[in-house]
Amino acid sequence: MEVEEKYYVSSSKINAKISDTVLEGMHLEIGGITFQRLSRKPRGRSIQRKLLSIDNSTRLVIYR
């Protein structure tokens, strides 16, 4: 079974380079912080948190 990865970054940390990869309307909120979904991994960013769905089909990777 293949795990689908989805990449997110905090709305406050989005810069000009990353803004080109933001997928509009596909955000999530954790602990009062809004994270925007990206179409690909952001270069030069470290991982803040990894979340795995209950059925192990989706991994959410949240970058700093």
Determine the pLDDT at residue 8.
97
* Segment 4-58, tens digit of pLDDT: 999 999 999 999 999 999 999 999 999 999 999 999 999 999 999 999 999 999 9
SS3 61: strand
Q: 45 CB contacts (<8 Å, ≥6 apart)?
A: 9, 63, 64
SS3 59: strand
**pTM of the shown model:** 0.91
Given pLDDT bands bounded at 50, 70 and 90, which one contains residue 1? Answer: confident
